[in-house]
Structure 1
């Protein structure tokens, strides 16, 4: 079962940001966590079936991005 924080992170991840600096600032202000912690948290959520049910478009998009990054570094 997803927590309120899980849903907040997924909702946040589904938004677009004009610049990385603005996104990092918003992570700290809105989610109360460091950008590094946000990305660790989000990455773990991408493997959670509940997250996929809650935000399928966001989770599938981010899974594709993650896989493309992994493929690029091989």
Structure 2
């Protein structure tokens, strides 16, 4: 199995942080990765489904997958 790229590792480490102000994470995404938050979240969604990401930090990947599942369930409930 190939190792994670430096950007993949950086993204996973970034997800361990917490933000206390609205919009702070989006601003940090743009400043840190030079991409829009939308692009970042698309890349992150693909990354957390890989075996490499799970091997790197299984607890973080499980947390992110669970958070994604919760959002998808809640969004599916809206009329």
Give the TM-score normalised by the residue count of structure 2: 0.84
Aligned to 1:18: 20
Aligned to 1:68: 70
Aligned to 1:43: 45
Kept in 2, the 8 Å contact 1:8–1:31? The answer is no
| Bigger Rg, which one | 2
Structure number having the greater helix percentage = 1
Task: Give the CA deviation at 1:71.
Answer: 2.2
Higher relative contact order, structure no. (Cα contacts within 8 Å, ≥ 6 residues apart): 1
Task: Give the CA deviation at 1:19.
Answer: 2.4
Structure-2 change in CA distance of 1:20 and 1:10 (3 Å) = farther
Paired with 2:24 and 2:13, the residues of 1 have a C-alpha distance of 16
Q: Unaligned stretches of 5+ in structure 2?
A: none
Aligned to 2:5: 3
Aligned residues: 74
Computed over aligned residues only, the root mean square deviation of the Cα atoms, in angstroms, reads 1.2
Paired with 1:47 and 1:17, the residues of 2 have a C-alpha distance of 24
Give the TM-score normalised by the residue count of structure 1: 0.89
